[in-house]
Amino acid sequence: MKVLSWNVNGLRSAIGKGFGDWLARSGAAVVGVQEVRAATHELDLVPIGPWKAHFAPALRPGYSGVGLFSRRAPDAVEASLGEARFDAEGRFQLARFGRLTIVNAYFPNGNGKDRDNSRIPYKLDFYRAVFDRLAPAVRAGEPVIVMGDFNTAHRAVDLARPKANEKTSGFRPEEREELDRWLRSGFVDTFRSFEQGPGHYSWWSQRFGVREKNVGWRLDYVLASEGAMPFVKRAFLEPHTLGSDHCPAGVELDDAVVG
């Protein structure tokens, strides 16, 4: 059972760059996309073929939004954290497939309009809201997968230029500490459970030559609860998949995870 996450940087744009072909050949059972940047009625023409699709758009046009594609219909789908300030930005989906819970989330960027880090408090509140929503299932040992653009590079090895970005949102101490808290509380960074080395990134600036030089950040994660980790067989990035400034991240799970 392959599960994939991709910040597509505008789904309609990504479709024009081959998203449909990528989806068809992905071999995935579930695909979560972030930064959809379209209203539901604008996505009615998305060529989804056999996929079941669910979208949680932002109220603000052309902003944020998440979407979930799955081969089989989820047993249940939720798109609310119970707080209007989060729900209005279309950042959260929770789907259940048997006993497996999959969360698709687009964690906020803390930069603010003037790159003044003014959105960091909102970003951390969103992290905590998602964490609290999942805590009972995680404590109960249920298999939980949280995938998406976390907008945080966890450690120095997770970005090409850590020293130059110590004061930049995405690598601020308080953001990294919040991700640490998740990992201390039972979540596992699946990619790092298989690969410890440097040079593995999922986002690159769109400035000329940056991606070719691999000057990037690892912002996209698939986290697994302790109840899910025994079913995780592989975790990976797809840095050669183009069509967005991010690349897909994914895991392969034993089918038994759904029960």
Backbone angles phi, psi at 248, to 5 degrees: -70, 150
Q: Rounded to 5 degrees, what angle do the CA atoms 240, 10, 95 make? A: 90
From 132, 149, 189, 254, active-site residue: 149
Active-site residue flag, 149: yes
Q: How far apart are CA 86 and CA 83, in angstroms?
A: 6
The pair of three-digit structure tokens given for residue 183, joined into one six-digit string: 């990992």
Report in angstroms the alpha-carbon separations of 104 from 31, 33, 69, 176: 9, 7, 11, 20
Q: How far apart are CA 44 and CA 145, in angstroms?
A: 27
The pair of three-digit structure tokens given for residue 256, joined into one six-digit string: 């038994």
Backbone angles phi, psi at 215, to 5 degrees: -95, 85
In the chain, the largest separation of any two C-alpha atoms, in whole Å, equals 48
Smallest CA-to-CA distance from 94 within 113, 70, 118 is with 70
The H or E element containing residue 36 is none
The pair of three-digit structure tokens given for residue 42, joined into one six-digit string: 């604008």
Backbone angles phi, psi at 15, to 5 degrees: -60, -40
The single-letter DSSP state of residue 117 is S
The pair of three-digit structure tokens given for residue 181, joined into one six-digit string: 């808290």
Residues designated as active site = 149
